[in-house]
């Protein structure tokens, strides 16, 4: 384990930025933390988390896939893929680190999505333990997420005066090597104390007892037709905010854009909450918002686990709790149809 003083963290950022693009949560003028490319003068945000998840780094909201030029009846296709450059995302919370594993299971299974894979390969993830988990946090509901000890290539702990680092992977070792001269060897006493402090807060969180045990693969029949979906979805606006802020939502659209000098085929985020998501020439298999609403939650709580060894498609980041304009969210769904919070 190594550490540096919190005062000197910008030196570390500067050192990394010499060779790699470095992104970290920075408060914008509106006070909202956003992953921002670090440069001199940018300060690491104290916010618990960013409004948008860091899934953008691997699965950007919009990305160009290929280009076409047409002349007469002929088409010329250009593969515009470029090898991603190495980059570092610093300050990723435990929930968001876990979301990458969930996305991997979609994009890296055969056939591998080469756009995603290239970025994933070149991204170094420095996670940071959650000093101040908030009332919308419920990562404890899910396995393999530890806010006191997040995963990633490097794990960091931020205390009042210092930042502690531990490498978890080869990429992490390389990162630590790069900042070696700016950090010093230390024991894990302070980190152990920080972990205890975080664990104590976690025990007091309002959603600490939320359980997903009622859900999982093979439960389609149990939950698909329960009457509660009517009430839960009644006020859903179908705005898709939940899917856009969600670190694990990965549905996408592929569209063509005519540039006037050819066509760019691009991919962009899409949302199962939208009425046109499944609309096709012969009809639409999810005509009502209730059906679309149900699809989103069934996918995260039943379908995804069924295909992925019981792993849920939610990491408890709480973004949907904070951002849904009608205050509907996965926690309410879980409580309503999965039984009460275990007291």
Chosen residue from 37, 132, 177, 255 binding other proteins by CB under 8 A: 255
| H or E segment and range at residue 87 | strand 87-92
- Find the DSSP H helices in the chain: 9-19, 94-107, 114-122, 170-178, 189-204, 220-223, 228-233, 241-245, 289-298, 304-307, 319-323, 330-338
The values of phi and psi at residue 33, to 5°, are -75, 135
CB of 117 to other proteins, least distance (A): 7
272 binds other proteins (CB under 8 A): yes
**Binding residue (CB under 8 A) for other proteins from 251, 289, 290, 322:** 251
Q: Are strands 87-92 and 21-27 parallel, antiparallel or unpaired?
A: parallel
Among 267, 300, 319, 323, binds other proteins (CB under 8 A): 267
Q: Which of 229, 207, 219 is nearest to 316 (CA)?
A: 207
Q: Measured between alpha carbons, how far is 242 from 323 in angstroms, rounded to an integer?
A: 7
Out of 131, 169, 278, 289, point to the residue binding other proteins (CB under 8 A). 278
- H helices within 161-256, ranges in order? 170-178, 189-204, 220-223, 228-233, 241-245
| Residue 226 lies near other proteins (rule: CB under 8 A) | no
SS3 for 49?
A: coil
- For other proteins, the binding residue among 196, 224, 231, 327 (CB under 8 A) is 224
Which residues in the 73-102 window bind other proteins by CB under 8 A? Answer: 73-75, 77, 79, 81-83
Residue among 185 and 221 whose Cβ is closer to other proteins: 221
CB of 332 to other proteins, least distance (A): 21
Block residue for tokens 């939950």: 223
Q: Interface residues with other proteins (CB under 8 A)? A: 65-66, 68, 70, 73-75, 77, 79, 81-83, 106-107, 109, 111-115, 117, 217, 220, 224, 250-256, 258, 263, 265, 267, 270, 272, 277-283, 285-286, 291, 295, 298-299, 302-303, 306-307
């Amino acid at each position: 384990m190594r550490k540096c003083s919190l005062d000197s963290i910008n030196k570390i950022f500067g050192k990394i930025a010499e060779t790699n693009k470095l992104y970290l949560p920075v408060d914008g003028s509106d006070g909202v933390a956003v992953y921002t490319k670090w440069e001199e003068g940018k300060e690491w945000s104290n916010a618990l988390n960013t409004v948008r998840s860091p899934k953008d780094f691997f699965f950007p909201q919009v990305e160009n896939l290929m280009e076409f030029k047409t002349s007469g009846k002929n088409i010329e296709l250009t593969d515009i893929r470029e090898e991603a450059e190495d980059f570092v995302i610093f300050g990723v919370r435990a929930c968001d680190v876990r979301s990458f594993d969930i996305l991997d299971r979609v994009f890296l299974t055969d056939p591998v999505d080469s756009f995603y894979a290239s970025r994933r390969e070149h991204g170094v993830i420095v996670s940071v333990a959650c000093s101040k988990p908030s009332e919308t946090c419920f990562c404890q509901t899910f396995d393999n997420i530890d806010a006191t000890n997040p995963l990633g290539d490097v794990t960091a702990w931020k205390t009042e005066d210092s930042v502690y680092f531990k490498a978890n992977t080869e990429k992490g070792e390389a990162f630590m090597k790069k900042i070696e001269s700016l950090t010093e060897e230390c024991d894990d006493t302070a980190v152990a104390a920080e972990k205890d402090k975080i664990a104590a807060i976690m025990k007091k969180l309002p959603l600490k007892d939320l359980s997903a045990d009622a859900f999982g693969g093979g439960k389609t029949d149990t939950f698909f037709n329960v009457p509660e979906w009517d009430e839960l979805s009644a006020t859903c606006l179908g705005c898709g905010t939940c899917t856009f802020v969600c670190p694990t939502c990965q549905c996408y659209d592929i569209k063509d854009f005519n540039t006037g000098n050819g066509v760019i085929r691009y991919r962009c985020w899409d949302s199962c909450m939208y009425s046109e998501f499944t609309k096709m020439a012969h009809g639409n298999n999810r005509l009502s918002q209730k059906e679309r609403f149900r699809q989103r939650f069934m996918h995260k709580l039943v379908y995804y686990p069924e295909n992925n060894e019981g792993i849920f498609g939610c990491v408890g980041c709480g973004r949907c709790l904070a951002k849904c304009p009608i205050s509907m969210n996965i926690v309410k769904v879980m409580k309503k149809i999965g039984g009460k919070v275990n007291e």
